[in-house]
Amino acid sequence: MANTSQKHKNFVAEPMGDKAVTELAGVGEVLGDRLAKAGFDQACVVLGQFLILKRNQELFKEWMKDTCSANSKQAMDCWQCLDDWCGEFL
């Protein structure tokens, strides 16, 4: 996690709880609103989709692009955040 943001480090440092979707690395207010409108209003719901996609980087990035119009960096940051969180807590 040497090249990760403070937001990423904060997310991975503690259990999921009821974190807002905007607490995920790569997800700001705009993407958070788009995800919420698509039914993904909490980080745990996005985690569920991440797990359904079997933690596959390419599938998850495509899903992010299709669901909330995330760019490649945003989708990658979110994938890495969830993947690192799973490494800590699952």
**What pTM value is reported for the model?**
0.95
Q: Cα(15)–Cα(69) distance, rounded to whole angstroms?
A: 27
The set of residues, in sequence order, having a beta carbon less than 8 Å from that of 79 and lying 6+ positions away, is 50, 57, 60, 61, 64
What pLDDT is stored for residue 61 in this prediction?
98
Q: Which CATH class is domain 6-89?
A: mainly alpha
Confidence class of residue 3 from pLDDT cuts 50, 70 and 90? Answer: confident
Tens digits of residue pLDDT in 46-87: 999 999 999 999 999 999 999 999 999 999 999 999 999 999
6-56: per-residue pLDDT in tens? 999 999 999 999 999 999 999 999 999 999 999 999 999 999 999 999 999
